Chain A
Amino acid sequence: MASGIRDKVAILGMGCSKFGERWNDGPEALMVEAFQECLADAGIEKKQIQAAWLGTCFDEISVGKSALPASMALKLNNVAVTRVENFCASGTEAFRGAVYAVASGAYDIALAIGVEKLKDIGYGGLPEFGSAMGSLNGLWFANMTAPGGFAMLASGYAAKYGIDMQLVKKAMAHVSVKSHANGALNPKAHLRKPVTEEQVLNSPMIAYPLGLFDCCGVSDGSACAIVTTPEIAKSLGKKNIISVKALQLSLSNGTEIAYDWDGAQFITTSKASLEAYKEAGIKDPRKEISMMEVHDCFSITELVTMEDLHISERGKAPEDILNGFYDRDGKVPCQIDGGLKCFGHPIGASGLRMLYEMYLQLQGKAGDRQLKDPRFGLTHNLGGFPMMNVCSVAIVGKYGD
């Protein structure tokens, strides 16, 4: 029986670029910015990297196809580089590739890097898929955008639990207010202004019932990690080693969109998180998870995710949210770095950016945002749409804990 990934791989170093509208920097510059920080943090030389994984999604409007953009921008040593793309989980998928490669014993030291350059298209929101959605989907799929796709969840959620949409909206507003308060403390975040509940509730409608401030920013950015075995990390003189406790991925199989689903949850998140807790040896996530970076592409996504991660009870996320359970001073602080809400969502970079915050927090290096003695940090990505999606869940903590 598989023994899982727990404590088999250590994070040797991490780096994260400043996220934002990086009008004067291309994806190559963003990658190098994150990579240089990461390499210095790892304390190794570039030639020690034996393999790399690149996560990026909208390659057609930025780097182009294959893993060559990473190998060439970073001037890697003609090593194996693989490009992965799995919607919003792309960054975590790159990490999973590097982690599994080290765990398998195939390589000693591997790099995972994610990048996305979104602000080269001339309009707000994510790029249109165009031919990238496939020749059949283009013939029939609804004229859907990301906010619209997730907005539907709010109608499904309110209907399932018989909760008035105004209350759901209020809880959603608190999600954004809380993230902005955190993002304001983070020099690498894109949006650094606190907002009020009133501002969120009164923001212009993007996709009913999501207003502008229920939507995350759209930014450029890159983040990366260098991973190795705990033994090598020790041999390199690392102390307080941060290790991978769980890495899970779950994908829709067509059930939600075509068979049976209540429209008020992500069945993938529900499954991936349970598997992750098992892999990490966590029995009561509501008590044991110290902090989370979840996929708050839209406030409603975060709200529903609190239940799918089995931290809030079904139908009770609005209550927990409004009670401040997920605030910076709450029981399980969520989006402590500001989240997608304030960092924006350069698709390929997001998963690694979330891990970067967990890594900083676990090492006590999170500055003004530092939480007291965090133990387990959970990250979560949700790609695609509620009715067909890709979900990744990762848990990191202190090696041996």
Chain B
Amino acid sequence: MAGIVSYGGYIPRYRLNRMLIVQNMAWYFPVIMAVAQGEKAVANWDEDAVSMAVAAAYDCMEGNDRKKLNGVYLASTTLPFADRLNAGIVAAALNIPEDGATNADFASCLKSCTTAAIAALDAINAGKANNMLVVASDQRRTKMATMLEMFYGDGAAALLFGKDNVIAEFKGSHSLSCDFVDHYRGSGKEFDYNWEERWMRDEGYGKIIPQAIGGFLKKTGMAITDFAKVIYPCYFSGTHKDIAKKLGLDPSKVQGNMHANCGDTGTAHPFVMLAAALEDAKPGDKLLVASFGQGCDVLAFEVTDKIKNFKGPKGIKGSLANKVDLNNYQKFSKFRDLIVADLGIRGETSVNTSLTTLWRNRKMIFGLVGKKCKKCGVPHFPPNIICVNPDCGAVNEFDDYEFVGKQGKVLMFTGDMLAASVDPPAVYGLVGFDGGGRTLMDFTDCDMNQVKVGMPIKLSFRKRYTDKTRGFTGYFWKAIPQIEGGK
């Protein structure tokens, strides 16, 4: 029986306390005070939907063989490329085999995450694929002092679907599709444009989700009371509760909308909430998950015994625990390019990306794949033609060697105020890996003053540069010094 084999999540480390937005912007639009409870997760300046998707995907694939994936589906409304497969970047970052892979983007709608999940499950049930990874991720920009700025958070989650070692069996789905528009973002536009809240709440979430779930129950003959947890997004907390009432649901069986600790992560949110539900699920629990956006997809899962021995990923709980308060609203605004700060002439340098060079070196750049010498066993990065060990001299006798997942530590570092950076100082250093290999890397998610030589690091796939002239985002891996165990 097809189902969920693993799940993973990624909530970026920075949290923005909503009262900070109020303190800075309520003078302009006091209504935001009404929803100023708790904090929202905000991506660092070097993160986007693709980089967060990679983080969630790696979390999900921990302990699973990436080489056995038959494809990656990526769902998002904030993909960096309109014409270039964004899921292909995620797949390359996972270093999955290219031959035989079906990768696809599911875009333009917040419910595309569940649509991608249904497509993946269909492929598996049709015998066309064995293991499909579906990742949902969003990093939506919002105008200052808007309700959306208050509601939206950033995040990603991933689900691995397959037939073996299933922790939650797929029990069926039902979809409702209609051109209901509560908000939209026109092509090339930076921000969402939304109709009044009453329309979004009452005629949107409040009507469409119950209707789709009703359709699912009718179709399958299941009862809402069969479910241990019912999961659906809705950032209007009152409406979120009202939907439960309409469905006749015990409030304890409703998965929280995570407004207070994360914010609504858009396309990722149904997956983020499902991953959070799986973290607490017991064998036999039935989970119902619904999405919202130009209709609603409803999927049911039943948790199996396998969940007992499931070595949990870092998941949603793990990433929620790894947090730092972004106590500077101007910094957040700059990270999102909402205010103009001068990067200096040094920051003007604009070079196009050599697509040929990128193609030749895609394993190195996206997968952080180096080489390991067959003769002397020394790993190295970037890939050399002649072994880096001066006592070896092997020529082209190497196996690919993945550095992602290897333990590493800081060998030397600095925080550079001269380098053009959105978040100076630019912190970087030489990183050495256990088992051999070392390289120079940018650091991220760290306070330079707390970095020390010898400190362990983790690796994170990030935006390396954004070429605004040509619309190209370049990615590479960065090191995250593990300050006080990751905080």
Q: Chain A residues in contact with chain B, CB under 8 A?
A: 121-125, 128-131, 135-136, 138-145, 147-148, 151-156, 158-159, 204-210, 253-255, 257-259, 263, 387
Q: How far is the CA of A144 from the CA of B419 in the complex (A)?
A: 6
If A205-B417, A206-B418, A254-B388 touch, does A139 touch B412 (CB 8 Å cutoff)? no
Establish whether residues B441 and A142, one from each chain, have CB atoms under 8 Å apart when the complex forms. yes
Is B448's CB under 8 angstroms from A139's CB? no
Which of A125, A129, A142, A253 contacts B442 (CB under 8 A)?
A142
Q: How far is the CB of A230 from chain B (nearest CB, A)?
A: 39
Are B382 and A144 in contact, with the CB atoms below 8 A? Answer: no
Residue of A nearest to B474 (CB): A139
Partner of A259, one of B364, B438, B476: B438
Closest to B362 in A: A139
6 contacts between A and B (CB under 8 A): A138-B465, A142-B429, A152-B414, A155-B429, A258-B437, A387-B440
In the complex, are the beta carbons of A140 and B364 less than 8 A apart?
yes
16 more contacts with CB within 8 A, not counting A210-B414, A258-B438, are A123-B344, A136-B361, A140-B365, A142-B440, A142-B442, A143-B426, A144-B416, A144-B419, A144-B426, A145-B418, A148-B416, A152-B414, A206-B417, A257-B430, A258-B380, A259-B378
Q: Report Cα–Cα, A35/B139, bound state, in Å.
A: 60
Q: List the 6 closest pairs (A to B, CB-CB), nearest first.
A: A148-B416, A156-B412, A135-B354, A142-B428, A159-B453, A151-B414
Q: Determine if A139 and B418 form an interchain contact, defined as CB atoms under 8 angstroms apart.
A: no
A139 to B428: give the CA distance in the assembly, Å. Answer: 15
Chain B 218-239, CB within 8 Å of chain A: the 1/0 string? 0000000000000000000000
Chain B: number of interface residues, binned into ranges: 35 or more
- B421 close to chain A: CB less than 8 A: yes
Tally A-B pairs: CB < 8 A: 141
Do A128 and B346 touch across chains, with their CB atoms under 8 A apart?
yes
* Distance between Cα atoms of A321 and B384 in the complex (Å): 39
B349 at the A/B interface (Cβ < 8 Å)?
yes
Asked if B214 is at the interface of the complex by the 8 Å CB criterion, the answer is: no
The answer to the question of B126 belonging to the interface, with a C-beta cut-off of 8 Å to chain A, is: no
Q: Is the CB–CB distance between A121 and B345 below 8 Å?
A: yes
- Chain A nearest CB from B164 CB (Å) reads 36
Inter-chain contact B453/A254, CB cutoff 8 Å: no
Decide if A254 touches B425 in the complex (CB within 8 Å): no
- B418 near A147: Cβ-Cβ < 8 Å: yes
Query: Which B residues between 51 and 68 are near A, CB-CB below 8 angstroms?
Result: none
B residues in contact with A128, CB < 8 Å: 346, 349, 420
Contact A259 B380 (CB under 8 A): yes
Q: Which residues of A contact B389 (CB under 8 A)?
A: 259
Annotate B177-203 by CB proximity to A: 1 below 8 A, 0 otherwise.
000000000000000000000000000
Name the interface residues of B348-368: CB closer than 8 Å to any CB of A: 349-351, 353-354, 357-358, 361, 364-365
Report how far A313 CA is from B263 CA in the complex, Å.
Answer: 58
A121 to chain B, nearest CB (A): 7
B477 — nearest CB in chain A belongs to which residue?
Answer: A140
CB pair B415–A258 under 8 Å, yes or no, is no
Q: Which residues of chain A come closer than 8 Å to B428, judged between CB atoms?
A: 142-144, 148, 152
Most buried by A among B350, B358, B440: B440
Q: From the candidates B416, B440, B442, name the one contacting A151 in the complex (CB within 8 A).
A: B416
CB distance from B484 to the nearest CB of A (A): 19
> Are A139 and B476 neighbours in the complex by a CB distance under 8 Å?
yes
Measured between beta carbons, the chain B residues less than 8 angstroms from A206 are: 416-418
